[in-house]
Amino acid sequence: MRIHDAGAGGDGSISDTYDYEELPQHQDRKDLDAGALFVLKSKGRTWGRYYVGPIQLVVCYGAVVGNTLLGGECLKAIYLLSVPDGSMKLYEFVMIFGSMMLILAQFPSFHSLRYINLASLVLCLAYSACAATGSIYIGNSSNGAEKDYSLVGDTESRVFGMFNAIAIIATSFGNGIIPEIQATLAPPVKGKMFKGLCLCYAIVLVTFFSVAISGYWAFGNQADALILSNFVVDGRALMPKWFVFMTNMFTILQLSAVAVVYCQPTNEALERAFADPMSGELSLRNIVPRVISRSLVVIAAITLAAMLPFFGDINSFVGAFGFIPLDFILPAVFFNLTFKPSKRSPIFWVNITIAVIFSILGVIASIAAVRQIALDAETYKLFADV
């Protein structure tokens, strides 16, 4: 029998396994965790090494790129409120935000980020409340644009736009699952992961849904990928400037915390490749390669965010190629492969149906995401100031 440990696995997936038989024979039964022994038992290591692990790394790194771009957009919004005729470009603000990321990325482990994660939760609640409040305020005022909820574009654009939206929803409302699973794999697992996921999605419902609903109600089809962009029109704030400043600052600080969390799977892979486990975590032997490798990873994310400043497109791409398979397809497939329910049982066919439907959605959403990136690439040049 094999059990999972709490770290990212040697096969590149989120978790690793160990032989139960290798546990000390004198270990007391009270110290054993049935959740880790039975629930997290792994028999699909090839899947983890060659499919699940790479998807997880791509998804997490895509989130780092997207958050870096979003942070730059928020910095630019603050700048334009202060200097309406300013000449600084978006890529410059992406670099400024990225320089803060370079520092935060050097925190060695998840544990060292615990206070940053707590601050991230508070900031998430704060900026969501501010964004929803701002949308409602503008929607009820005479400053807001006339609400238009009609669909724009031709039939082809609408169809692909629908699948783009599905991928973006998968990213926005499913992005908490990977860090949550990573954080709750440590024993005792029984009940712990369920509670963690309940808390995760309760916060998602309170924060993201409130922003999405109030934003669409206030701005209709003119709602931007970053709803805070709708708070300012032609350099003029539609509500008190101090409120827009505050909301953007909450967002910037929270994005920096989120981005550094999503850096951790990549950091784990780098530590496995370059660190010496026989030396101390803070030894010179490990600090030097850590600083160099993590800095290069962050610099690459900054470059990608500055080159392709299309936040909605990045969200769609990550959702189509990452979150749809991880959240909807693989769990159903792995359940059937692991527990082998009878082909006559309803659960077997429910899982097959879920996997088939979301596989089709994933393929179409992937095509839609690549199409939209290609269209935007034709419209905007690299390092565009959007």
Q: Where are the domains of the chain?
A: 49-379
Q: Are 167 and 183 in contact (CB under 8 A)?
A: no
Among 83-97, 228-242, 265-279, name the one with the lowest average pLDDT.
265-279
If phi > 0 it is left, if psi is from -120 to 50 it is alpha, else beta; for residue 146 that is beta
Burial class (CB in 10 A: 0-12, 13-18, 19+), 77: buried
Among 111-125, 220-234, 253-267, name the one with the lowest average pLDDT.
111-125
Among 40-49, 162-171, 215-224, 252-261, name the one with the lowest average pLDDT.
40-49
Share of the chain above pLDDT 90, in %: 24
Look at 91 and 168; give whichever has higher pLDDT.
Answer: 91
Examine the pLDDT at 177 and tell me if it is beyond 80.
Answer: no
Tell me the CATH class for 49-379.
mainly alpha
Distance CA(104)–CA(92), nearest Å, equals: 19
Examine the pLDDT at 94 and tell me if it is beyond 60.
Answer: yes
Closest CA to 184 of 33, 335, 29, 52: 33
Distance CA(178)–CA(362), nearest Å, equals: 18
pLDDT of residue 29: 47
Q: How many other CB atoms are found less than 10 A from the CB of residue 23?
A: 14
Look at 193 and 20; give whichever has higher pLDDT.
Answer: 193
Q: Calculate mean pLDDT across residues 245-260.
A: 90
Q: Are 97 and 256 in contact (CB under 8 A)?
A: yes
**For the segment 282-297, what is each residue's pLDDT rounded down to a tens digit?**
788 888 988 999 999 9
Closest CA to 138 of 219, 233, 220: 219
Cβ burial 313-341 (10 Å sphere, 16+ → b, else e): bbbbbbbbbbbbbbbbbbebbbbbeeeee
pLDDT of residue 162: 86
pLDDT of residue 250: 92
Structure tokens at 163: 């699948």
Question: For the CA atoms of 23, 49, 270, 75, what is the dihedral angle to 10 degrees?
Answer: -120
Q: How many other CB atoms are found less than 10 A from the CB of residue 194?
A: 12
What confidence tier does 1 reach under pLDDT thresholds 50, 70, 90? Answer: very low
Q: Calculate mean pLDDT across residues 126-131.
A: 91
What confidence tier does 97 reach under pLDDT thresholds 50, 70, 90? Answer: very high
Q: How many other CB atoms are found less than 10 A from the CB of residue 114?
A: 11
Among 78-87, 170-179, 260-269, 358-367, name the one with the lowest average pLDDT.
170-179
What confidence tier does 23 reach under pLDDT thresholds 50, 70, 90? Answer: very low
The whole-angstrom distance between residue 196's C-alpha and the CA centroid of its chain comes to 17
**Residue 319: DSSP 8-state:** I
